[in-house]
């Protein structure tokens, strides 16, 4: 009987030992790691945010130019670029009571840094804000008589009448505010979006330079400066052609 009890005790110890070895075959730490990985996969953990970049060519009321766009946050991107507005119209318009050739030149060149904020993921509506530095922002109107004019008993030829040049300049920093339509970055390679907004330019500086019989008009420059003091809004309607980088 004693021998039977001894055999049972030895057998029980081997069975318990074998169970311990079996249970220890999977370390608790490894099992926890595997379980955690499974939870992450099943839970659908969102991947990290990926910064996007695009190259943009634009054209609109402020001329044409190019930008580099960079996604800073899921709803916020920045764009750095430059634009130019070259206009040269030798016969832009006519004066009813003065037969003359009126040429118009517009030269706007700016560098800008703008931010696009998209408040809703499911909408293409964007708030656009920032500023531009207008390296050049100048408009020149040249008035040249085309025929002789009668003043009382005196007839003045075009050369005697002279020439009149009126200029206005808005050079400097201008804040920008507007709205954008459609996605900032292309889903694949290319997309188009639109900007609607305005720059608020510096107060213009005007000059009048005249020759001949028109020279007395130079004294009207102070009045011209005052009349144009509120001409500071530069509306923008712009089409952006974006290429994914």
pLDDT tens across 85-96, in order?
Answer: 999 988 777 777
Q: Does the pLDDT at position 43 exceed 50?
A: no
> What are residue 50's phi and psi, to 5 degrees?
-110, 125
14-42 pLDDT tens trace: 444 444 444 444 454 444 444 444 434 34
Residue 24 and residue 105 in one domain: no
pTM for this prediction? 0.75
Encode pLDDT of 199-241 as tens digits. 999 999 999 999 999 999 999 999 999 999 999 999 999 999 9
Answer whether residue 48 is part of any domain.
no
More confident of the two residues 95 and 46: 95
Statement to judge: residues 226 and 134 lie in one domain: yes
Mean residue pLDDT across the chain: 83
Whether residues 32 and 60 fall in one domain: no
Measured distance CA(178)–CA(240) in Å, rounded: 14
DSSP assignment string, 37-104: HHHHHHHTPPPPP---EEEEEEEETTEEEEEEEEEEETTEEEEEEEEEEEEEEEEEEEETTEEEEEEE
Asked whether residue 87 falls in the same domain as residue 14, the answer is no
Distance between CA atoms of 83 and 134, rounded to whole angstroms?
A: 9
Query: What pLDDT, on the 0 to 100 scale, is given for residue 238?
Result: 97
Whether residue 17 is contained in a domain is answered as yes
- What percent of the chain lies above the pLDDT cut of 70? 80
Pair 9, 107 in one domain: no
- Pair (116, 60) in one structural domain: yes
Q: Residue 233, Cα to own-chain centre: how many angstroms?
A: 17
Domain that holds residue 38: 2-43
Is the pLDDT confidence value at 187 over 70? yes
Q: What is the total count of domains within the chain?
A: 2
Co-location of 12 and 77 in the same domain: no
d(CA 195, CA 174): 17
Which CATH number do you get for residue 98?
2.40.160.170
76 and 22 share a domain?
no
Indicate the SS3 state at residue 188.
coil
Write the burial class of residue 167 (CB in 10 Å: 0-12 exposed, 13-18 middle, 19+ buried): middle
Same domain, 31 and 75: no
Same-domain pairing of 38 and 59: no
Contact 144, 178 (CB under 8 A): no
Are both 13 and 74 inside the same structural domain?
no
Q: Residue 47's pLDDT band (boundaries 50, 70, 90)? A: low
Both tokens assigned to 159: 């050369």
Q: 104 and 216 in one domain?
A: yes
Q: How many Cβ atoms from other residues are within 10 Å of residue 81's Cβ?
A: 19
> Residue 182 gets which letter from DSSP?
S
């Amino acid at each position: 009987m004693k021998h039977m009890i001894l055999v049972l005790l030895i057998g029980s110890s081997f069975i318990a030992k074998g169970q311990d070895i079996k249970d220890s075959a999977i370390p608790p730490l490894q099992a926890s790691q595997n379980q955690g990985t499974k939870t992450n996969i099943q839970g659908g953990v969102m991947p990290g945010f990926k910064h996007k970049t695009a190259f943009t060519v634009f054209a609109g009321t402020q001329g044409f130019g190019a930008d580099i766009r960079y996604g800073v946050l899921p709803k916020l991107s920045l764009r750095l670029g430059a634009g130019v507005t070259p206009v040269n119209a030798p016969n832009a318009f006519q004066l009813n009571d003065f037969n003359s050739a009126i040429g118009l030149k517009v030269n706007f060149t700016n560098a800008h840094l703008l931010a696009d904020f998209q408040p809703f993921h499911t909408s293409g509506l964007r708030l656009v804000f920032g500023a531009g530095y207008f390296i050049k922002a100048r408009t020149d109107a040249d008035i040249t008589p085309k025929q002789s004019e009668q003043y009382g008993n005196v007839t003045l030829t075009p050369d005697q009448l002279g020439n009149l040049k009126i200029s206005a300049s808005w050079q400097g920093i201008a804040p920008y505010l507007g709205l954008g339509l459609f996605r900032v970055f292309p889903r694949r390679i290319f997309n188009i979006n639109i900007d609607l907004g305005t720059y608020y330019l510096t107060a213009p500086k005007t000059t009048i330079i005249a020759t001949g019989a028109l020279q007395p008009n130079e004294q009207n420059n102070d009045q011209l400066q005052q009349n144009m003091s509120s001409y500071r809004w530069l509306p923008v309607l712009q089409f952006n052609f974006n290429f994914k980088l």
